Structure 1
Amino acid sequence: MSSVVPRLVGELTVGHVAGIIAACVVIIRFLCPAVITYVLAGLLRDTETASTWTVASAGLQKSVWPTILRTDSAGSGGAARTLIRVTCTAFPLMALLCAITGVVTPLGLGEEPATLPARAGTFEYITDDSAYGLGTSIRGRHSPSRLCPGEHLNRLAPLGTCPYSNTEVVYVDAPDGDGFSVELPKGYDTSIPDEARDIFSSGTGRSTVSNFFDIEWRQVSSEVSPNRGDEEVSVGMFRPLESSILDNKYKVIEGLIVDAINGGIGFRNHTVPAGLSRGAYWEEDILFVEPSTACVNTNLTLDFGISPVRNAESNDHIADLVLTDRGGFSQMNTTLPPLLVLNGQAEPELQQRAYKSAWLNNALTMVYLNVTNEKDKPRQGMKSFSYMDSVVGKEFPMPHSSTDDYDVLRLSTVFGNYLRLGLSSSGSVSGGRNYSNPFNISESDFDAISTICAGTVSANPVNITNIYVGCGLLRGAPRRTDGGPLLQFESGSKWSSPLHACASSLRATIKTVRFQSNSTGLVPLQVLSITPKTYAADEEADAPLWGLEDWGLRLNNFSPIWGLVSPEYATRKNVTTVRKPDFHLIGTPDNGLTLEGGLQDNLAGASFAQFAMNTVYRTVGDVGGNWPIDLRGAASLSVFQRWQNLSQDAATAGAIINLMWTDVAASAVVGTRGVLGEGNSGTKPAGEILVQPIGSRITFDARYGVPAAILLAWLGVIMLAALLCTCCCGGRAGFQTLRRRIEQLSVGRVFTTFLFPQESTLTMPAKQWRVSNGPKIVTVDVVARRAGEEPMYARNEQEGGDTYGLIDWRKR
C-alpha cells in the first residue's frame, strides 16, 4: 500500500486538492446543520416561551429537514401561490449550485513556471560530487608549462627554444660525427612568457568565453627530468573517469559542458545564481571544442557465423569469416578520385577525404585478391581495372584471430586490416585463403591511405592551413542476418559488419548555451539548449578573430598556442589570424601521440583534442588496449546496441567517433573560466549576466468553470429581479417590507398575536415584542394554546372518525 499512495498523491494537482477540500467542506456544510437541527428538535419541548419558538423555528426551517421530510414549508402541493412556491424552491437549488461550483471550479486550477523580468544575477560556485569532480586536481597549484622540440643538422632534437622564451639550447656534435647532445647552460624555462599570454587571451577579455589558457588538464602532477635541467615542472596526467555514451543529453560536469548528443565539450567553471528559491534562466557564450566526422560506406561487409564449438586453445568462436562484395568491387567507380584540394581553415573536405580513403581501400583490396589488376603494366599491355572477377554478393574468405573481436565495433588507422598483411593483430590465425597477390600489395600500401587522407605529416610546418584530420576504417558493430535476436550471439547465428572509411577534424567555436538553475532540485544546473552563436550578416567584420603561433617550426611534437586575439595582433609577426565563426585545430595524426602515451607538459589547450582523437583511432577503437571504459561494446550490451544502430548507415556512423572523442576528452581537461572570471576569481562582475528568475502563474481549465458561469448567470437574474421589484412594483419591495414579512412569519409572534391579541400584534417593533411577549409560555402539541389551558375536540365523523377538530378551551 505504501508504494501506491505516493504515486496517487503525485498525480494530484493543486486544483484537485482544492476541489477535494471544497467537496469535504460542502459535505460538512450540509451534515453539521442537519445533525445540529436533529439535536435541536430533541431539546425542544412542547411548552416553551414565544421567543424560544421563534429562535427554534428559524433553526429548523433553514435546515434540509423540511425538504427531506416533506413538511409544510417544503412547498410541494397545497394552495401556496405558484410564484411564491417557485421563488422558495430557488433557495435549495441555488445552495446546490453553489455547492457544485465550490467543488468543481477549483479542479480547473493549475500552476506552471513563469519567467520574471530579467535582472542582474549574483552567482556562486557549485561543486561536482561525481567522479569528474573527485578526479579533478585542485586548481592554482600548477602553472602552465611546455616543451618545444628543436632541430639540428636536419635532425629532430628532444629540446629546442620555445617561442618568446629566453632559454638557451646548445647542440654539441659527437666527436665521431654520429649524433649530438643537448646542453642547457641556464636550465630550461618551461613557463609561458607574458607576451604569449597577452596575445592569445586578448580576444576574450572579461567575457564568459574561455581563452586558450583557461583550458587545463583535469589531473596535474609534477616531475623532475634531467632533460629539463633537473627542474621540477608541472605535467598533465590522464585517467579515464566516467562514460557519457549512453546519456544522449547535455551534461554538466566539473569544468565542462558535455554534449553527449552530438559530441563536443564546452569550457565553463560552473556557477549558479544565488538567492533564487525557484531558480532562473539565462544564457552565456561558451567556447566549445568539438569533433566533426564524415564516413563513406565502402560497400563491403565482413560476414561471419558463431561457431557451435569454441576453439579452446585460442578462445576463438568466429567461423566462416568472409569479405562480401556489396557493390564495393563489382560496382566501383573506376575513375581515380582527384587530388584533394585542401582549403585548410575554409573547409576540411571531410567527405572528400573519406571517399578517397574508401576508394583506395577497395582498390588495393581488389588488386590483392586479384579481383582486378593494378595500374598500367606496359609489359602486360593492360590498363588498370581491365578485368573484374566479382559480382554483388561474392564472398572472399578472410583469416581471423581471437584477438580480432569481430563481435564488437572496431576503429583503426590501418586500412585493409581484415587482410592481415602484417601487424594488424596478433594471435593464432585461422581460416582464410592463400591469395596469390600477383601485384605484391603490402601493408605499407594501405598505410599510405591514412597519410593521404590526413594531408599532413610530422615534417610539415606549423601553419594555419595544416589542420588536424584523423582517418581510419570503421568496422561497424555486427547485425544479425538470420532473423534471430539482434543482441544474442547464439551458436550457429549469422552476422554482418559494414565497413566505413572515416575522416575526423577538430574545431573550436563559440556557442550560446541556455541554462536553468534549480535551487530546489537534485541537479542545481541544467543545460536546456546549445546553439551556434549568431553573427551579423557581414561575418567578416563580426565573426571572432582566431590567431595561431606561426614560427616556421614543424609539426614534430610541437603544438602551437591558438585562440581568440584582438585586432591589434592581426598583423603581428609570427601570429597568423583568420576571422570566421570556427577555427580548425592544427596538427597531424602522423606523430601517433595519444593521451595514454604520457603527457610532457601542462598546456592542455595545445594538444588535448588531437591526442584524444589519436586515442580514439589507435587505442579505444582499435583493440581496446587496457581501456577501463567499454567504448566498443565488448562488455556493455547497451553500448553495443547503440553502435549497432549508428554504424549501419555511413551518415550516422560518424557520430560514433564523435561520441567516443567526447568521452575521452571529458576525462582529460577542464575549463577554469566562469561567470566570475578565470577560476571564479571575480575578474568579471556577475552583474553583467542578466538572469530571468523563475516564478509561477495560476492557470485554469475553462471546462471546470461551467458551474461558476451558470451561478453567475443566476446571480445576475436574481439581482435583476431584485432591482425590478424595487423600482417597478409600486414600492412593495424594500427593507421595511422585508422586515415586516419576516415579523409576520415569526412563529412566536404569530402564536402570541392569536393567543394574546390584546398584548401582541404582527407589526409591533421587535424590541417591544421581545420584552412584552417573548416570555409568554406557549404549548404546541396538536394546536398552540396558552399555558394552563386544555383544548376540547370533536370527532369528525365525515372524515372516518380519526380526525378531531378544536371546539373550545377550558381552564384546568
Structure 2
Amino acid sequence: MLTVGQVSGLIAAASIVVQYILPLALVVILINYVGSQNNAVTWSIVNRTISTTIWPHLLRADSVNDRYSSRPVRVISWAMTITALLLVPSSVLAPLGLSEEIVPTGPQRVKFAYAQDTSSWGRVTMRRPELAFGRLCETGLNINCPGQYQGVYMNETSEGVWESVSTDDDSTINSTIPLNYTNMFYSATSNPGNTVSGLFDIQYRRWHLDRLDLYDKGATYAQGDFRFIENLIPQEAILLKEGLIIDMTDTPGIGFRNHTVPVGLEFGATWSEDLTWIEPVTQCVDTNLSIEVNFAKGADSFITNHTYFIVDRGAWIDLDMDELETRPWNDNQTLDLFGRAYKAARMSNVLAAASLNISLPLDSSAETLPKIEISEDMAFDNPTLFSYLDLDTLVIHELAGFEGTLDEFSISNTSDIAVNHEPSYPDGYVKLLALNYTAVTNICRGYYYLDDTHLDMRANNISYPAVDCGFILGPGVLMSEENFSPDTYTGRSTYQRKMYVCSTGMRASIKTVDFYYNETSTQLSSLEVSRIAEKTYPDDASKPLWAVEHSYERRMWFDPLWGLVNDSYETMEGFYTQRSGHLWLPMSPHLVLGFGEVEGIGTLAAASSFIRHLSNLYGGVSIGERDYSGKFEYSMVERIRPLFENETAASQVPSLIMTDGLAASLVGTKTSLSDSGAPWPASLAADSPANGFPQQLRVSPNTRVIRYDIHFAIPGLILLGIFAFALAWAITILVLYPVILRTFQNTYNQTSAGRLAASLLKNGSANANRPTCQWVEDDGKLRISFGHIDRTESDYFCRVVGTAPDAEP
C-alpha cells in the first residue's frame, strides 16, 4: 500500500512532467501557426515563449551556447541550469520522506467495555450458573473434602464394599468451599482492578447440572463439561478467544482474561496487563531409534509389500542393564523435565534391547547396529508403531515397547538385574528398579515407591509437581535418495519416523501482556497482543506467594487446591507455600486414576482440569477423544512435521496438544473492571460490570503524527542553500545599486527580438529607451518578415513589410 509521502512524490513527479512537456507541446503548436511574418510585438512574444521552455536546450540553440560568452554569463547560466535540474529530484524526493504513524501518547485512565467473541468460541461458552463453587473429593470414597467435616464416613461392609454412613440427620457431603479457604484464595487477586486470575476466576467453559442425595442433602450442583471446538495448532499465532489468550507459537500456553477493550478512542490504544498464565512445558529426548517402512510394488502384481525396520542411530551406546536402577526424583519445584525424559529414554532403550534380544553392553567397537527387521507378526500386533496406512501422521502414546503384545513386556524377576537388586543405595536412599515400561513411566512421574498396583503412594504437597511421560513418533519422512519423477520411479520407497521420549509438566506464572487496540467500538477481532513476557520483580520479596494444599502424611485422594495468596496466609494450616516467580502445578491421584474425563468433579476447574488433560496427553483412556494425528487434517501434519527435526523443536508437540485442549475446556472470568471478590459462598455467576473505568489500568491512547526522513530532503536542502545564497546576493545588489532595476528593464526590452529587429531595420532612428507602451504603439506595429524561417528561403534575412493595421492595442 502506498504511503501519503509516496503518493505526494508521484503527484510531484507527474506535475514536473506536465510542467516541462506541456510547454514543449504548446510551442510546437505555436510554431506551426506563427508563420514568418508578424509584427514586432508578436516576434518578442514568440521569442519569450520559446525561451521559457527547454526547446533551446533540446535544439542546442544560440541562447544556450556559452562559447565566447563572458564569464559572469557562463557562471550564472550554468547555475540556473543546475538549479533547474536539481529542482526535479528535490520536488519528487522531498514528499517521499513524509510518513504518518499512529503512536501512543501518555498513560491515562479511559473507559473499558466488554468485548464479546462472536465466533464459535463465544457461542459455545455458556453463561455462569447461579450456583456456588463446589468441590468433591476422595475418588471412590464419598467423604468430605479437607476443611468440611459433616459427619459422613465410609464403612467397609464387606471386603471391597464400602458404604457411606451418616452420624446424624444433618450429616451430608458438603461441597461448599469453606469461608476461610474462599477468603484465602481471593486474598491476593480480589483488590479492585486486579487483572490476575485466582483459583475462582478460572472456570469451565461449559457445565452441566447434577443431583445426588448424598451431596449437599440432594441440592442441585454444577459440574464442568467439555467438548472440542477447533484445532488451533495449525494457526501458529497468538489468538484471542472468549476468556483466553492462547499462544500457539513455539511457547504454547494460555492466559486468563475476560476481554475488555477501551472505547471512545479515535485511533485505539496500547496498554499492558499482568495475567495468570499456564504453560504446558515439555522436554523431549531423542531415543536415537527410528521406525523405517519400505514399500515395494511389483511390476506384475497389484500387491505392495511392506517391510518394517528399527533403525539404530546410537540408541544403545554406553548402555547396560544397570541403567534400569535409579534414585527417585527429588527435583521438587526446580523440576528437571529434561533429566526425567533423558532417564526415561535410556531406560526405555534398555527394555527395547531386551525385547529385541540385544545383549547389553554392546561390543566396544560397535556404535550402531544394523537395521533390525520386524517380523510380520510383531508388526501386526503393534499397529501403533508399524503401519503403512497413516505413515504421515503423528503418534503420541504412553511408553511402550515394540512387541505390541497384550501383556506389557517385562524383564523377568529371575534376571540378573532383578536378583541382584538392592532396595537402597549405600547412603540409605531408596533404589528403584524399572523392569517394565509402566515402571519407567512412574519413575519419570516422580514416584518414590513401585509396586504391582502402580499407584502413587506419595502424600500430596508442593514438593511433588504433576509430570507425565510418554513417547511421540513423527510423521514419516521420505529418504533423500528417493525420487518420484515419472522417468526414475521404481515402485520402491523408504520412509523413516523418529521417536522421542518426553516428559510434561504444567507451570503457572504471572506474565505481562502488551495489548494493541485499533478500533473505537468493542470488537474483539481488533484487539491484538503485541508481546508476552515474564513479569519482572525487583527482588525476591516482591515475588508472588503460591499456596498448595497438602494431605499431611496420608496418601492423597483429592485434587489439591492451589493459587496465589497474600502474605497473611503464608503459614495457613493444611497448605504449603512458596514465594517464587512461578509454580509447577501439584500432583493429583487423577493423573493415573482418571478414565479419560477432562472436566473433573465439582466446579473448581483450576484444581481439576489441568491434571486431567495431562493424564490424557500420552494415551489416556478417552471416548471420542480429539484426533491430533493429522489423519483428517493435513494442516496439522504441515505444522508438526518440521518440529521432528530435533528434540528441542519436538518438545513443542505435546505442549501444543495440551494447550489446544485446555483452551477448549477453560475460560477466564476476570476482567480489568473486577472490583472485589464475591461474597461467600462464592458464586460462579459473580460477573464483572460490562463497562466502566478500571481502577488500576492506565492506557496510552494512540494519536496520529507526521514524521519526516531527512535523507529525502538532501537535494532540496542543496537547492535551498543555493536559493538562500542567490537571494542574499541579489538583495545586496538591489540595496547597493537601486538603479539596477532600470538597467534590468532596459536590457530586457532592448534585447527582445521584436524591438531589436525593428530598431536595426529603422537604422536606430527611434529612442531605444522608450517605454513599452510607446514602443508597442510605434515600432511594435511594424510587420517584420524573416526570409529564412520557412522551408522556401528568400533572398533576405529580415525586413519590414508594412504596418499591421489590425493590431490590437
Give the TM-score taking structure 2 as reference length: 0.77
In the alignment, structure 1 residue 243 sits paired with structure 2 residue 231? yes
Partner of 2:403: 419
Q: What is the alpha-carbon distance in structure 2 between the residues aligned to residue 89 and residue 651 of structure 1?
A: 68
CA–CA distance in structure 2, aligned partners of residues 92 and 69 of structure 1:
13
SS of aligned partner of 1:493: strand
User: Which structure has the larger Rg?
Assistant: 1
Other structure's SS at 2:252 match: coil
Which whole-Å CA distance do the structure 1 matches of 2:363 and 2:23 have between them?
Answer: 106
User: Residue type matched to 2:285 in 1?
Assistant: V
Measured after TM superposition, the shift of residue 419 of structure 1 is 1.8
1:576–1:368: structure 2 CA closer, same or farther, 3 Å change rule? same
| Cα distance in 2 between the residues matched to 1:182 and 1:145 | 21
Of 432, 436, 452, the residue aligned with 1:445 is 436
Residue 290 of structure 1 deviates from its aligned partner by: 0.9
Higher mean displacement: 351-360 or 731-740: 731-740
Query: What is the Cα deviation at residue 120 of structure 1?
Result: 3.4
What is aligned with 2:374?
A: 397
Secondary structure of 1:225's match?
coil
Q: Which residue of 2 aligns with 1:153?
A: none
Q: CA deviation at 1:534?
A: 1.7
Pair 1:554–1:529, CA change in 2 (3 A): farther
Q: Is the 8 A contact 1:505 1:584 kept in 2?
A: yes
Return 497-506 or 105-114, whichever deviates more. 105-114
**Higher RCO (C-alpha 8 Å, min separation 6):** 2
Between the aligned partners of 1:405 and 1:705, the Cα distance in structure 2 is: 67
State the 1:127 CA deviation. 2.4
2:636 is the counterpart of 1:639: yes
Give the letter for the 2:673 counterpart.
L
Shift of 1:675: 2.3
Note if 1:356 corresponds to 2:343: yes
- 1:651-800 to structure 2, matched below 5 A, reads 651-677=648-674, 679-681=687-689, 685-686=693-694, 688-695=696-703, 697-698=705-706, 700=708, 704-726=712-734, 731=737, 734-735=740-741, 779-782=781-784
Structure 1: give runs of 5+ residues left out of the alignment. 1-9, 151-155, 310-315, 374-383, 426-434, 785-792, 794-798
Please state how far the C-alpha of 1:524 moved relative to its aligned partner.
1.1
Is the 2:9–2:96 Cα contact (8 Å) retained in structure 1?
yes
Structure 1 residue 236, shift from structure 2 partner: 1.0
CA offset digits 1:757-812 (Å, max 9, x no partner): xxx97778x8xx86x8987795221289xxxxxxxx9xxxxx99546867999x9x
**Structure 1 segment 5-404 matched on structure 2, within 5 A:** 10=1, 12-30=2-20, 60=49, 63-64=52-53, 67=56, 74=63, 83=72, 87=76, 94-95=83-84, 97-139=86-128, 141=130, 143-149=132-138, 156-157=140-141, 159-165=142-148, 167-171=150-154, 174=157, 179-183=162-166, 185-186=169-170, 187-204=172-189, 205=191, 206-228=193-215, 229-260=217-248, 261-306=250-295, 308=297, 319-329=306-316, 331-336=318-323, 339-343=326-330, 345-372=332-359, 392-393=369-370, 395=372, 397=374, 399-401=378-380, 403-404=383-384
Q: How does 1:488-507 map to 2 (within 5 A)?
A: 492-507=492-507
Aligned equivalents of 1:807 and 1:486: distance in 2?
92
Q: Secondary structure at the match of 2:211?
A: strand
Q: Deviations over 1:563-603 (max 9, x none)?
A: 11110111222232111111111124653426646542211
**Aligned residue pairs, count:** 740
Contact 1:748/1:774 (8 A) holds in 2: no
| Contact 1:345 1:465 (C-alpha < 8 Å) held by counterparts | yes
Where do 1:539-558 residues align within 5 Å? 539=540, 541-552=541-552, 558=558
1:582 maps to amino acid: H
What corresponds to 2:679 in structure 1? none
Displacement, 1:214?
A: 0.9
Aligned partners of 1:743 and 1:749 also within 8 Å: yes
Matches within 5 A, 1:454-603: 454-456=445-447, 457-481=455-479, 483-484=481-482, 492-519=492-519, 523-536=525-538, 538-539=539-540, 541-552=541-552, 558-588=558-588, 590-593=591-594, 596=597, 599-603=600-604
Task: Supply the distance in 2 between the matched residues of 1:804 and 1:641 (Cα, whole angstroms).
Answer: 87
Closer, same or farther in 2 for the Cα pair 1:737/1:292, shift >3 Å?
same
Structure 1 contact 749–761 (Cα < 8 Å) conserved: no
- Give me the identity figure in percent: 26
Is residue 411–residue 475 contact of structure 1 (8 Å, CA) maintained in 2? yes
Q: Is the 8 A contact 1:146 1:602 kept in 2?
A: yes
- TM-score under structure 1 length normalisation: 0.77
74 and 235 in structure 1: CA distance in 2 versus 1, 3 angstrom threshold: same
The 3-state SS of whatever aligns with 2:719 is helix
**What one-letter code is carried by the residue in structure 1 that aligns with 2:647?**
A
Aligned residue type for 1:472: G
CA distance 1:318–1:423, change in 2 (3 Å): farther
Structure 1 residue 223 displacement after superposition = 2.4
Q: CA deviation at 1:447?
A: 1.9
Q: Which amino acid aligns with 1:400?
A: A
